[in-house]
Structure 1
Amino acid sequence: MAPKLPFELNDPDVFKDKSYVNGEWIESKSGKRFEIIDPGTGKPWASCPTNSAEDVPAAVAAAHLAFQTYRKTNPRTRAKLLLEWDAQIRAHRDDLARILVHEAGKPLAEAHGEIDYALGFTWWFAGEAERVQGTVSTPSAPGRRVFTVKQPIGVAAALVPWNFPIAMILRKAGAALAAGCTMIVKPSPETPLTVLTLAHLAEKAGFPKGVFSVLTTDLENTPALSEALCRHELVKKVTFTGSTRVGKLVARNCADGLKKLTLELGGNCPVLVFDDANLEQAATQILALKWRHAGQACITANRLYVQKGVYDKFAEIIANRSRGLKVGHGMAKDTTMGPLTTPRSLVKASEHVEDARSKNGRILFGGNKMNIEDGFFFEPTVILDAHSDMQISKEESFAPILALFPFDTEEEAVGAANKTSMGLASYFFTKNVDRTWRLLENLEAGMIGMNCGNSSAAESPFGGIKESGYGKESGKDVAIAEYLITKTGTLALEDHF
């Protein structure tokens, strides 16, 4: 019997609360389930199967069997399946958004925004499915030709986070399914239900049994389940988005089997605002980046370096623009910023604010937990006079906290921006063309925003350097290549003997 939901759905059948393996909706072998908490109320409203390592072999076997057929499916057929999945998601956009609000805490408008962003991946990779091409060339040795062919690598496992569960799934699965791979998804314990809805819509789109599977589990069983997927001999590719600490564990688990691996890890992204910047443009871009999902994005603005000539003026602009944020439950009509997704995020946010205060940082506004029902709410916070000794300089806050650091020279700002083990994204605002080119080359990050904030899109390669990971997701050629092998053939021509 389906649970009583705290909201209405246009199509109640889209709500699924069982794991999805080989085209079947199943419980875990243990029969255990775990609760899903609404971050806006702090209360449980649904539950999912607590899968464990013992559930992995059957899921992988089904995905491997499906791969034997799906790998040979015509690329145009795979493209049509992706386009039909895209159409199904669009048709159920409102229902999917409501589920996402109650899992992740996003305001409803942001939930719709994530779905629209995520649909770029199904659309893009439907086109990429037919663009996979090999080569033929004439080598230096006489009487020979060299061929390369691209083939899907096999069963892929996706370990995905809670902050953008729909977008992360479609970015990974879009590339894998376009390439001809099958995929098993291990969603975050906080947001499994949106992923299960995507599985239901993939089934409606016509994907064969075993091509797309989902194993849900709780926080306690996540490490063992993830390790079992990484170490299974029939899993040939693993893609992980999450923290650098966990990413290193995933890499170790994949190392023994020499798995192909993509890691999209932590941020701590800097933003540089120079005296000659258009300050209104900079504020618009930075605040859209910062307050989205209450600061819980790997590419969000974490350290804001502002040149001293405009520091006070820019701080005032930031403050005036931010004080109008309305914090509340994501389903409330006037909410513009929702809660943090987990209670542990509240602890870290409070620690960062108290550390900054103890080190002479000025709390311009905010800095406190908020008592709204029993939800996980934190005030939008701006800290002035930040410096390199503060925790917020060294750690990704993943909260609605924006710290402003003053600087004098370009060299000083670049040095401070690069002084981190992370290298996911960096941003800058300037109208000096020469400086633009210098910053593009000198900032140590995999993605550079030049007079813009969020630049993530299906057509743009996404990925970091340093301890922010390796490999690329989305973009032309590079993302789908993560799910392909290249096979070389050399042909000797008989008339040369």
Structure 2
Amino acid sequence: MASDTVPLVIGGQDVLTSDTFDVVSPATGKFLHKSSSANVAEAVAAVDAAAGALSAWSRTQVHERRAILLRAADVIQTRGDELKSAMRDETGSDDAWGDLNLRIATETILYAASCLVNLEGKMPAIADPGREALLIREPYGVVFSIAPWNAPIPLGIRAIVWAVGAGNTVVLKGSELSPKSLHLVCSVLWEAGLPPGVLNFFTTAPAHAAAVTSAVIAHAHVKKINFTGSTTVGRIIAQTAGAHLKPVLLELGGKAPSIVLEDADLALAARHCALGAFLHAGQICMSTERILVHERVRDEFATELVAAVKGEGALVADALRKGATLLYGDHDDEEEHDAKTRMRPVVVAEVTPSMDVYRTESFGPTVSLISFKDEADAVAIANDTEYGLVAAVFSRDLRRALGVARKIETGAVHINSMTPHDEPSLPHGGAKDSGYGRFGAGFDEWTRPKTITFDSQPQ
């Protein structure tokens, strides 16, 4: 990136637009750099470039695509410090979060490359004598990917590599909060040898985002959309795509519960609940937002939790007004920073369904402690939410924990581990208002089946 302005990249060419927006540090409030802001015409040009590259790219041999991904894994490691620095500036993350993000991104690239050898068809048996059938999988075409700001390295990578690995071309819309980070993610693939037009990149100012996004979704060349972000925006994306009968993969918000049964290792559970709630200041869709603890061990667990927490303001204030008690933290107390954007970890007890914090995703360092009477009560509370992304269960009895896990309405349940868990070999996605479709675990999400029948005994 030669200038201080993040460019669009369309058909392999940098595009600096006359319309730009400022990017500021969430940690300090200070100006970082400018970013180009795409209008509808420029976003459409990105789609056209992707469509122009599709025919050649979709016919590229699997071993060639695999080689590019393997080179990308090397490039991202070589440029790791550059990527982590950009993410730290734009998201306010710490070094540990940057290291974790880089590791997950690298593993995602390598796993996608390994899965390419499994792109294969089938010959199912059919009833029609003298005829046979082929079931093949083919790329959708142009994929429109929308990546968020909070973990731009791995979430940008996963929005790209699965799609291009399967033979699709991609238009990536980067978050206006982390445009440089996501531009650098794309540059890893370009440096690895991805041909011009296969991956195109744009960002746009918030004032134009709705119009630009709608235009791209409506474009005839766009065949599939994936979005990671809030449920509110995801619902709009789904409605817009539905009007054009286009499939969507949505990974949306969460209100992850961690259930602590009375036979759990309380120290272990407390550590994982604290880490799951406050990793990256709770700004993860999988963050632990509700800790459900058996009433018999509630006090003992609370002591362990406070100890673990020691080594979101509006939601907390609402809960306190409605009768909650503050078990640990001070929602008004801020660290000494140049910008008032930091918040101490807060644990709220005696939370009831009438409180906003019971149902609303905080996306911040806030967790609620809720007591339950028995397993049925715990499951009912865990499922008493419109979200269904992930959950955790803590128990020394694996069979019992598995029984509870099966009853929780989420895309994943982690036993004796924290709710944030991202593994490229596992399908990742949610239920209910947390979205549908799955990232990871292969290329089925990025290819569509095609049936071909033919005479096996031609005359």
Q: Secondary structure at the match of 1:163?
A: coil
1:405 to 367, 370, 373: 370
Determine the C-alpha separation between the residues in 1 that align with 2:256 and 2:40. 35
Q: Secondary structure at the match of 1:378?
A: coil
The aligned counterpart of 1:367 is: 331
Determine the C-alpha separation between the residues in 1 that align with 2:2 and 2:138. 41
2:84 counterpart of 1:88: no
Determine the C-alpha separation between the residues in 2 that align with 1:369 and 1:218. 33
Equivalent residues of 1:155, 1:183 under 8 A apart:
yes
The aligned counterpart of 1:337 is: none
Deviation at 1:54, TM superposition (A): 2.1
Please give the residue correspondences for 1:260-299 in structure 2 after superposition, counting only pairs within 5 Å: 260-299=247-286
Deviation at 1:197, TM superposition (A): 0.9
The aligned counterpart of 1:483 is: 446
Please give the residue correspondences for 1:316-335 in structure 2 after superposition, counting only pairs within 5 Å: 316-324=303-311
**CA deviation digits over 1:261-286, x for unaligned, max 9?**
10111101111001100112212222
The aligned counterpart of 1:492 is: 455
**CA deviation digits over 1:180-227, x for unaligned, max 9?**
111111111101111111222222111100111110112222211211
Equivalent residues of 1:251, 1:261 under 8 A apart:
yes
2:218 counterpart of 1:255: no
Deviation at 1:434, TM superposition (A): 3.7
Determine the C-alpha separation between the residues in 2 that align with 1:2 and 1:110. 27
Letter in 2 for 1:464: G
Equivalent residues of 1:3, 1:46 under 8 A apart:
no
Deviation at 1:3, TM superposition (A): 5.9
- Extract structure 1 runs of 4+ deviating beyond 4 A: 1-4
1:21 to 7, 10, 14: 10
**What is the total number of aligned residue pairs between the two structures?**
456
Letter in 2 for 1:463: G
Q: Which runs of 5+ in 2 are unaligned?
A: none
Determine the C-alpha separation between the residues in 2 that align with 1:219 and 1:367. 29
Q: Secondary structure at the match of 1:63?
A: helix
Q: Secondary structure at the match of 1:441?
A: helix
Determine the C-alpha separation between the residues in 2 that align with 1:449 and 1:492. 49
**CA deviation digits over 1:77-117, x for unaligned, max 9?**
00110111111110010111011001011112211211111
Determine the C-alpha separation between the residues in 2 that align with 1:71 and 1:143. 32
2:160 counterpart of 1:173: yes
Return closer, same or farther for 1:455/1:201 CA change in 2, 3 Å cut-off. Answer: closer
2:173 to 157, 162, 186: 186
Deviation at 1:137, TM superposition (A): 2.5
Deviation at 1:375, TM superposition (A): 4.4
Q: In terms of mean alpha carbon deviation, does 66-75 or 373-382 score higher?
A: 373-382
Instruction: Among all aligned residue pairs of Structure 1 and Structure 2, give the percentage whose two residues are the same amino acid.
Output: 29
Determine the C-alpha separation between the residues in 1 that align with 2:269 and 2:106. 27
Determine the C-alpha separation between the residues in 1 that align with 2:340 and 2:377. 41
Please give the residue correspondences for 1:107-122 in structure 2 after superposition, counting only pairs within 5 Å: 107-122=94-109
Determine the C-alpha separation between the residues in 1 that align with 2:206 and 2:345. 28
Q: In terms of mean alpha carbon deviation, does 367-376 or 132-141 score higher?
A: 367-376
Determine the C-alpha separation between the residues in 1 that align with 2:120 and 2:3. 48
Q: In terms of mean alpha carbon deviation, does 362-371 or 81-90 score higher?
A: 362-371
The aligned counterpart of 2:409 is: 444
TM-score (norm 2): 0.96
Equivalent residues of 2:83, 2:153 under 8 A apart:
no
Equivalent residues of 1:423, 1:467 under 8 A apart:
yes
1:469 to 429, 432, 435: 435
The aligned counterpart of 1:215 is: 202
2:112 counterpart of 1:147: no
**CA deviation digits over 1:434-477, x for unaligned, max 9?**
422321221111111111113320001101111111101001x3
2:319 counterpart of 1:353: no
1:379 to 328, 344, 360: 344
Q: Secondary structure at the match of 1:48?
A: strand
**CA deviation digits over 1:254-312, x for unaligned, max 9?**
11321121011110111100110011221222222111110011111011111111111
Deviation at 1:487, TM superposition (A): 1.1
Equivalent residues of 1:267, 1:422 under 8 A apart:
yes
Determine the C-alpha separation between the residues in 2 that align with 1:77 and 1:369. 55
Q: Secondary structure at the match of 2:182?
A: helix
The aligned counterpart of 1:328 is: none
Please give the residue correspondences for 1:408-423 in structure 2 after superposition, counting only pairs within 5 Å: 408-423=373-388
The aligned counterpart of 1:333 is: none
The aligned counterpart of 1:455 is: 421
Q: Which runs of 5+ in 1 are unaligned?
A: 5-15, 325-348
Q: Secondary structure at the match of 1:376?
A: coil
Determine the C-alpha separation between the residues in 2 that align with 1:106 and 1:375. 16
Determine the C-alpha separation between the residues in 1 that align with 2:200 and 2:354. 45
Q: Secondary structure at the match of 1:482?
A: helix
Letter in 2 for 1:377: R
The aligned counterpart of 2:226 is: 239
